[in-house]
Structure 1
């Protein structure tokens, strides 16, 4: 521990060097925090995922006053992993930053290279995927699906797996075929309820979700975003049910399905009615 270290840590304008020094001190095997010293990549990974979701949540709620803090928490996770990487002789924060900078330059030849910048977003996306495919080809030979991250949310990973398979021609050519498959899988699930074991019902339900994710891909819908929107709508409308019951001096547990269903319809109708401007 040095005076320079202490001075930097206590500098409210110390920026990134301050954060890096704080993490170094927290992980110091002699003078650091016992909890922080005990952590490793695997134990910290769940916190990294959680912080990323909290960033997304703040954006979804347009909680701009919270976003700065949530982004700081997410940055801390990168700093944490980088410090552990440095201790293990694997990498450090600066090499991590250099690597992602190299990647961004390589993947944007229309900005940092000689390629024409005047291209559509769709064309840029295709070019991005082509560059990524070339990067993968330069690595040790692997299966088509091998580097789709296991830790992704299952719905997101399903779409990424399907996109990767589609690049080599394993895909339904028409959206109607996907819908037909959803009908088929739903029917199998109905039949499974009556004839199959719990494990087989579980499998059939997974198959149905997987095909629904495929439909989202064909419709160019991000399924995680669509489901978040549906969750928000359900929450908003159920809150409306609770408000109307409260006005009657009741709680949901004092009501029944028929009454709550009628209130749901009322909330829905109110949401969908045009406002007084006619919109």
Structure 2
């Protein structure tokens, strides 16, 4: 853990320092993060086009929709596996590059594979927990669902930094995740909420601008079913795919950066508490 004390994101944070540290880190490594994220996003979108999801939009019969959905399980699983691999690579780069200049995005691509299987297993287990949390949230309507989603995302963000820094022990990663996420619980959830509100607004504006040449109106494509159906067609346009991948690449690296900030903040606070406890035990 000593090598990470020099990491630019390692410190006790408040909301202001967390956001400023994220921006500084992102800005200093923008070219690498953007280009690699663009390639990943473009690859995922092209991979998604291999599967025909447009038929699902035309179905009205519940049984047909269910049967079609069953047929989409494997394509969606494949897309999820690719997405998890991409985020694993970015996490490795964000965590290790600042403390080891030899860690490039290419080195991250293969060294991160050590953590991919444990991460995948945790995600499978976590999906069960997340589903239960969302079901519980439904019982308290909209506020409960929003809170459950924020809680799920907060927990999720801790997994990969813990796996990579403290070792790929699945049981330890799960235990440590809940320990650190619940320490400073409200500040962690608050930071995640602020982050995703900003990202949501920014991505909606950017997507609206991207869709104007294809639909003429972003709002119309959301409110008009016919326009929404046409959207499935222009989403196969190479120009749209490229622009959409570039938009995703702007926000994609921010998730591992935020996760690293949350972890280092929790770890720094934990170490401070341990030092204080040691000082108390040495008092006469």
Bigger fraction of residues in helix:
2
Q: Structure 1-normalised TM-score?
A: 0.31
Q: Structure 2-normalised TM-score?
A: 0.31
Question: Which one has the largest radius of gyration?
Answer: 1
Determine which structure has greater relative contact order: mean sequence separation of CA pairs < 8 Å that are 6+ residues apart, divided by chain length.
2
